[in-house]
Structure 1
């Protein structure tokens, strides 16, 4: 009865692109990218696949639209810092948290960085690089460094989340990391001395803290190379 009631309520609401994208996000969050099919989406919306195709051309377009919604929300919630550097850190963290909460967007952002979802991020960070004093000729290079790090970390975290789920859907992040740290610690000491040496750091690390540290390293380099000194 409850299922019938929910389906009736959904049928009573007019189907729109916004409703389709919202349902797609719910499906992606619960089933991942592989679980997003027009058949599953039609079932969730209590409609037929043909009605969905009227509003969305295909899965790629739907993924981009869903990613755009998540990124737009992240950018709207990102705090504006007192300085350009603080604002860049806040924007980067907003993307990190968005990918952490919705791992499926990591792959979409990496596949199409020139499409609208990442353009929102590029524009906001690019303006802060201008405010930081990075000269015009160096702005693309500075943005590219930040872009590569943000997208690379997002894609890696998304891949790790998928690997963790495939390896054992019942494990949490700490179990997954501890297993990886154990693997590193058991490596041949002559062939992998460095990796063995940081195994305990892997076990104890915090992804968010390490991400911010990486952003700071890049911003330190940008500031040292291009940004004029205060009062200079």
Structure 2
């Protein structure tokens, strides 16, 4: 079977797979070259640094977010679809949320989504800086909502490297935190109905609806 030609696109696709499996700490040029069946020097020929690999991989995954036409669906439906798609993408690629705090990220994929968000909120009736604020509010909410699952994956990987059972370590920590929570009346009541450390079901959907309700009220359209 003929060997596939090394290209920047192939490197980025392989990097995304490696990042999904191993996180930011598991990505280096040697492991990336091995995944591609080549030496690290072959990767350097196309992309010069690890930081540039992360930047390109981060920008590529934004293309996974579907952006429906707000003229056809209405601004609120388009905003919901965009936010839901972003949340799903960030959950699939938990390393991306971490990369925001450790890498300089930019590119056409993210710019495409930012431009679309402005179009959605301008169609809703926001103008100028208000459209920017609306887009930023939803973006920060989605990013924050996805950080919990991302942190869980990252923590489990790190604990696994200690040689101990990460699931048992997490269970022990939850037990200790639950003991402390029992000292507080509202937390004690909640523990009786749900996992203390878990967010209630549909928290993301609830928060997104509340934000969009607020936008609609502010625009005078009613919630």
Fold shared per TM-score above 0.5: yes
Matches within 5 A, 1:86-125: 86-109=77-100, 111=102, 115-116=106-107, 117-125=109-117
- 2:179 aligned to 174, 180, 186, which one? 186
83 and 98 in structure 1: CA distance in 2 versus 1, 3 angstrom threshold: same
- Aligned: 1:41 with 2:37: no
User: Where does residue 135 of structure 1 map in the other structure?
Assistant: 127
What is the distance in 2 between the residues matched to 1:207 and 1:105? 24
Contact 2:90 2:143 in 1 (8 A): no
Matches within 5 A, 1:65-214: 65-72=56-63, 74-75=64-65, 77-78=66-67, 82-109=73-100, 111=102, 115-116=106-107, 117-167=109-159, 171=167, 182-187=175-180, 189-190=182-183, 192-199=184-191, 200-202=193-195, 209-214=202-207
Q: How many residues align?
A: 214
Contact 2:91 2:149 in 1 (8 A): yes
What is the distance in 1 between the residues matched to 2:104 and 2:79? 18
- Aligned: 1:222 with 2:215: yes
What is the distance in 2 between the residues matched to 1:91 and 1:35? 30
| Alpha-carbon displacement from aligned partner over 1:180-222 (angstroms, at most 9, x marks no partner) | 76555422545x3333333344469677722121111111112
SS of 1:135's equivalent in the other structure is coil
Structure 2: tracts of 5 or more residues without a match: none
Higher helix share: 1
Query: Normalising by structure 2, what TM-score?
Result: 0.79
Contact 1:21 1:62 in 2 (8 A): yes
Matches within 5 A, 1:6-45: 9=2, 12-45=3-36
What is the distance in 2 between the residues matched to 1:17 and 1:112? 19
